[in-house]
Amino acid sequence: MRASGRKPPNVGEQFGFDTEHLFVEHNQGFRITGFPVWNGTIDGTFSARTPEELLRAITPDRTEWILRYTVQGDTLQCVLSHHDAPTGGSMTVTPS
């Protein structure tokens, strides 16, 4: 699947549908590994209560971006392209 934007005013129906089970089957904590930044990648944890919050947490907020993703069980495998990673960087999001 693919999503793109700047600050998403609302999440595309498909992203919400694809990730809604993460909020039913788990708490609201997530772990991200491999978020692409200008000098490599970063890992961390965050909270999200809705698909909208999840999308905001895994995409940059001050630039345009393209997110390609697949959902494999409880894992979101993503390739995120933005100004610091124009060719895309791989990252993984899982419930923590």
Tell me what the pLDDT averaged over the chain comes to.
84
Residue 96 has a pLDDT of: 87
| Rounded percentage of the chain residues whose pLDDT exceeds 70 | 84
Tokens at 84, concatenated: 């610091």
The model's pLDDT over 5-35, given as tens digits with 9 standing for 90+, comes to 554 445 567 888 899 888 876 668 999 999 8
Q: Are 51 and 59 in contact (CB under 8 A)?
A: no
Distance of CA 9 to the CA centre of its chain: 15
DSSP assignments along the chain, one per residue:
-EEEESS-SS--HHHHHHHTHHHHSS-SEEEEEEEEETTEEEEEEEE-SSHHHHHHHTS-SSS-EEEEEEEETTEEEEEEEETTEEEEEEEEEEE-
What does the pLDDT average to over 69-84?
90
